[in-house]
Structures are given as C-alpha cells and as structure tokens.
C-alpha cells in the first residue's frame, strides 16, 4: 500500500498558484518513493485499509522538532489524498507569536530546507503562526487593516473569519456566507454559495 500526497502552494489570499502542485508517494513504512512509482498491487492491497493505530505508527515522528506528516484516511493504491499547504507563509516580516520558534527541515526530510514552526508546547506546523485576532466584534475592516487595500469589498452576505488555533489551518482566513456556507477562497461579486437541495442526486 502506498500513500500519495498532492501539495499545492497558495498565495497570500489562499488561492492556489497554478503550476505549483507537487506529488509525493510514500511506502507503508513511511519512506518516500520516487515520483511515478507504482508497485504491483496484490489483490489484498487493493481493498485493505489500515487501522488508526497502523497509520499512527506509519507517520510517527522520530525527531520531535520535525513536522508531522498529515495523517490521511488510508486509501487503496491509485487513489490520491489531496492536502494543500500554504507556502510561503502569509507574511515573513511579522514577528512570531511569543514562545514560537522556526526551524528548517533536515536534508533527509521529504521537504528539505523548508521552514517549519514549533509552538511553546512542542507541536509543529508548516504554516507560519500569526498573532491571534480577536474576532469578537472584529469585522472585515479589522481583519484587512494590515492587508493590501486593493482587495475589493466582500459581496453582500459574506464575512471573513480566521481559523481558530485548534484548527489545522490556524490563522488562515475563511469566508462565511449568511446561509452558513464556508469556503477558503475569497468570494467574488458574481459568486453565490452552493445550496444543496433535498432528494436523490
């Protein structure tokens, strides 16, 4: 069984940058395989799924200062698990929050030289942490205070929020429509939230 990751760079506004998608394939033991590697699957490997314990063992860190791999839901060979990571961070000029440190991944890591961040408790992440935003009473103008003023106003019914620290995308802006629909990409004036209707599809 192999695990495939698709990593796409995002710009400062969370939009995918065309042509920046990279694919990585990892063997069951966690070693990275050459791009395009396709082992001959056995009948059992086509349908077998790994347990949470096996996935935890597969992605256990040896060095506590190295970032953890995202743990995908195990999928049979030939299926791709997409993960999008924001790289480079939003703004490298701002200081790190209190207690945070930055390091570079070692030469033996699948992303050698890439910067990762360690919080005061020792948890690691690829995304540069941002100072917490007090969302109580913070509106669109508060969030964009430090952002370029060239951004057009959000369409009616949309508000911007920042993912909380317990979310995998902590500090990343997301957009909420009054109907409860959320998305990572900034909505445009012509974009309406997708509304699900009842019945079979």
User: Is the pLDDT assigned to residue 188 strictly greater than 80?
Assistant: yes
Domain for residue 123, yes or no? no
Q: Which two tokens stand for residue 195?
A: 């509304």
Q: What is the pLDDT of residue 36?
A: 57
Domain for residue 152, yes or no? yes
pLDDT, tens digit, for every residue of 19-75?
877 777 767 666 776 665 555 444 444 444 444 444 444 444 444 444 444 433 333
pLDDT, tens digit, for every residue of 88-144?
444 455 678 888 888 888 888 888 888 888 888 888 888 888 765 444 444 444 444
pLDDT, tens digit, for every residue of 160-174?
888 777 777 777 788
- Domain region containing 178: 132-201
Q: What is the pLDDT of residue 108?
A: 83
Q: What is the CATH number of the domain that holds 141?
A: 2.20.70
Q: Which two tokens stand for residue 72?
A: 């995908």
The total of structural domains in the chain comes to 1
Cβ neighbours for 196, distance < 8 A, ≥ 6 positions apart? none
Domain for residue 196, yes or no? yes
Q: Which two tokens stand for residue 94?
A: 């701002």
Domain for residue 92, yes or no? no
Domain for residue 80, yes or no? no
Q: What is the pLDDT of residue 83?
A: 42
């Amino acid at each position: 069984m192999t695990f495939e990751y698709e990593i796409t760079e995002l710009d400062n506004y969370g939009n995918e940058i065309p042509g920046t998608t990279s694919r990585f394939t990892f063997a069951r033991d966690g070693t990275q395989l050459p791009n395009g590697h396709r082992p001959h699957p056995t009948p059992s490997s086509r349908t077998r799924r790994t347990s949470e314990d096996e996935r935890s063992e597969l992605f256990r860190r040896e060095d506590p200062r190295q970032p953890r791999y995202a743990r995908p839901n195990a999928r049979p060979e030939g299926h791709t698990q997409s993960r999008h990571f924001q790289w480079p961070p939003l703004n490298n000029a701002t200081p790190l929050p209190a207690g945070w440190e930055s390091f570079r991944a070692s030469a033996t890591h699948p992303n050698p030289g890439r910067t990762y961040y360690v919080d005061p408790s020792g948890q690691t992440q690829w995304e540069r942490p941002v100072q917490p935003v007090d969302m109580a009473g913070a509106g669109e103008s508060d969030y964009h205070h430090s952002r370029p003023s060239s951004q057009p106003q959000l369409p009616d019914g949309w508000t911007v929020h920042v993912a909380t620290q317990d979310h995998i995308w902590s500090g990343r802006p997301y957009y909420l429509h009054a109907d409860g629909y959320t998305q990572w990409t900034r909505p445009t004036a012509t974009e309406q939230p997708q509304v699900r209707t009842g019945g079979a599809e």
